Amino acid sequence: PPHPLEVIMVGAGYVGLVSGAAMARLGATVTVVESNPGRLTALRSGTIPLHEPGLGELVASERAANRLHFAANLAETALSAPAGTFKAPRLVFLAVGTPENTKPGQQGAADLSAVQAALDELASLLPPNPSLTILATKSTVPVGTGAALARRFQALRPDAPLVVTSNPEFLAEGQAVHNFLNPDRILVGLPGGDTPPSYVQAARQAYSQLYAPLVIKGVPLLFTKRESAELAKYAANAFLAVKIAFMGEIADFCEHSGASVDEVAHAMGLDPRIGPEFLEAGPGYGGSCLPKDVPALVASAAQSNITLTVPQAAHLANKARKAGLGGRMARVMHLAGKRIALLGLAFKAGTDDVRASPALDLATDLLSQGASLALHDPEALANARAAMQALDLPPQQSERLHWAPTLEAALTGADAAVLLAAWPCYKDIAPDHMAQLMKGRHLFDFRRAWQPQPLRAAGFTLHAVGMAEETIPSHCDSEL
Ligand code: UDX
């Protein structure tokens, strides 16, 4: 049998940690490099610094099996060992952040400085005349980045053989471990041009070995041109963004036309050309990927003088949607001086991530409109608090911000409650109990997680995105 693959995963963020631990589960020997000392110490002591179902167990069992290790930098890994040490080619994955560039003139574009720094570190510590290194970008990087990295490395280390590949991830937070081990496809972009064919062949073999346990189960392993893999990742995320933004606008029209957006989405989704997923209208998409990847795609295409109007429209529609949540509420009730319970601060249920979460937009808007807020989330409270603190709000606003340790505390005395992430605890709460706790009777459901009929019976007025109130006759409720 072949030797176990040696995998170095640079970055123990969300993507690197999940991918590294899951590759160990597939049989590779994995070292995850994390430069943040606090995060590294936590990982070494068995603490998982993010909320991801199944990740804690996976990391613990792979460490116990001696397949998963953590290092502070590349020099601490076996990479700097003398040439000839490696029995199989080594795979180095870059899973460092590619945040949105904020420099003037480059807004929206992906900031590649962490990727470049990792490449430079690799170049500086490989021993003289090393064996082949297979580099893979896991981070989402603009098309052409692989070629640019290969040129950069060649200039630094002409003696060191390197093949730069692209292996994008398609992990959704909250189900990332499951997604990694049960993917729809595995995408590997390989270089053409003047890369020696033997290097490309070695990369192909290494990937085939790495992912063999999944391929045996029938998962398609797609080898494409490197540029295709890079672009496919962005195109996939942008397409998902378009679906969501599109349904948001249809939902708005539903509210004014008597249609119900769930019925419309269901009817649309039965057409296999459309598909049933990602048609749920909500408060706008957030998270670490879609809001950043769509403008990055648009910006990188603009460099080739290509205007991507459809993704750009989705991006603008989504920004407007998140910014307009407070305005929707203000059309229904007076907000100044009111106490509003904001339920679900994560960008979606199932994660503690609040990056680009619609709840943060709504919270700042409601504070500026003079409301008091009681904020609750079963997992994301600490992250939401840190994100709000970073906004440095004026004291007359921040003093109206209350962090509710329980759902009951959030609802107590509230004039209105707003559901922004569909955590089960919000769906499960008994309407009569809500009515006892709350002062007012306005409910805003931006996820359609609440059942209209029981809430109406308890005396509430429900404003659900994509449904006009008067269009939910009670005979329909019983069928829902
Ligand atoms: C996404 C992609 O799904 C994943 O393939 C990629 O690798 C990273 O980006 P993630 O950001 O974790 O994953 O979450 P996802 O479940 O895709 O949701 C993104 C946002 O869209 C959330 O704010 C979610 O609430 C919203 N959404 C999703 C909707 O509003 N409606 C939908 O129908 C689906």
**pLDDT digit string (tens) for 130-185?**
899 999 999 889 999 999 999 999 999 999 999 999 999 999 999 999 999 999 99
**pLDDT digit string (tens) for 237-255?**
999 999 999 999 999 999 9
193 pLDDT higher than 90: no
Three-state secondary-structure class, residue 233? helix
d(CA 239, CA 257): 27
Q: State residue 87's pLDDT score.
A: 64
Ligand 1 neighbourhood includes 347 CB (under 6 angstroms): yes
Q: Which of 240, 293, 354 to mutate to test the pocket of ligand 1 (most atoms within 8 A of CB)?
A: 240
Three-state secondary-structure class, residue 435? helix
Distance 281 CA to ligand 1 centre (A): 12
Ligand 1 neighbourhood includes 172 CB (under 6 angstroms): yes
Is-same-fold flag (6-223; 324-480)?
Answer: yes
Q: State residue 480's pLDDT score.
A: 35
Annotated binding-site ranges for substrate: 170-173, 233, 278-282, 286, 348
Tokens at 177, concatenated? 């471990």
Tokens at 336, concatenated? 């100044």
CATH T-level topology, domain 6-223? Rossmann fold (3.40.50)
Dihedral sign of CA atoms 388, 391, 392, 397 in order: negative
Distance, CA of 72 to chain centre: 25
Q: Report the atom number in ligand 1 closest to the C-alpha of 447.
A: 30
**pLDDT digit string (tens) for 271-288?**
999 999 999 999 999 999
416 and 444 Cβ atoms separated by less than 8 Å: yes
Ligand 1 neighbourhood includes 278 CB (under 6 angstroms): yes
d(CA 340, CA 323): 17
The matching CATH number, chosen from 3.40.50.720, 3.40.718.10, 3.40.390.10, 3.60.21.10, for 324-480 is 3.40.50.720
Ligand 1 neighbourhood includes 34 CB (under 6 angstroms): no
Give the predicted TM-score (pTM) of the model.
0.93
Distance 248 CA to ligand 1 centre (A): 14
Q: Report the atom number in ligand 1 closest to the C-alpha of 356.
A: 23
Helix (H) or strand (E) holding 461: strand 461-464
Ligand 1 neighbourhood includes 187 CB (under 6 angstroms): no
Distance 347 CA to ligand 1 centre (A): 9
First to last CA, the chain: 55
Q: How confident is the model at residue 51 (pLDDT cuts 50, 70, 90)?
A: confident
From atom 13 of ligand 1, which residue's Cα is the shortest distance away? 172
H-type helices in 1-90, by residue range? 14-25, 37-44, 55-64
Number of alpha carbons in the 13 Å side-chain half-sphere of residue 372: 15
Tokens 């307009």, located at residue: 324
Span 367-373, mean pLDDT? 98
Q: State residue 470's pLDDT score.
A: 55
Ligand 1 neighbourhood includes 169 CB (under 6 angstroms): yes
Ligand 1 neighbourhood includes 289 CB (under 6 angstroms): yes
Distance 241 CA to ligand 1 centre (A): 8
200 and 158 Cβ atoms separated by less than 8 Å: no
d(CA 398, CA 202): 57
Distance 85 CA to ligand 1 centre (A): 42
Three-state secondary-structure class, residue 465? coil
Distance 421 CA to ligand 1 centre (A): 12
What is the layout of strands, in order, in the sheet containing 339-343?
Answer: 401-403, 372-376, 339-343, 416-419, 442-445, 461-464
Q: Report the atom number in ligand 1 closest to the C-alpha of 284.
A: 30
d(CA 47, CA 59): 10
From atom 2 of ligand 1, which residue's Cα is the shortest distance away? 172
Residue among 325, 315, 313 nearest 251 (CA) = 325
Neighbouring C-beta atoms of residue 453, cutoff 10 Å: 16
From atom 21 of ligand 1, which residue's Cα is the shortest distance away? 285
Tokens at 422, concatenated? 């569909």
d(CA 207, CA 362): 44
Q: Would you call 476 a catalytic residue per the annotation?
A: no
Q: Name residue 100's beta-bridge partners.
A: 110
Give the type of residue at 154. Q
362 and 330 Cβ atoms separated by less than 8 Å: no
**pLDDT digit string (tens) for 55-94?**
999 999 999 999 999 999 998 888 777 766 666 678 999 9
Tokens 């993917």, located at residue: 183
Return phi, psi of residue 95, to 5°. Answer: -125, 40
414 and 374 Cβ atoms separated by less than 8 Å: yes
Percent of the chain with pLDDT over 90: 88
Q: How confident is the model at residue 4 (pLDDT cuts 50, 70, 90)?
A: confident
Q: State residue 459's pLDDT score.
A: 96
Domain boundaries, the chain: 6-223, 324-480
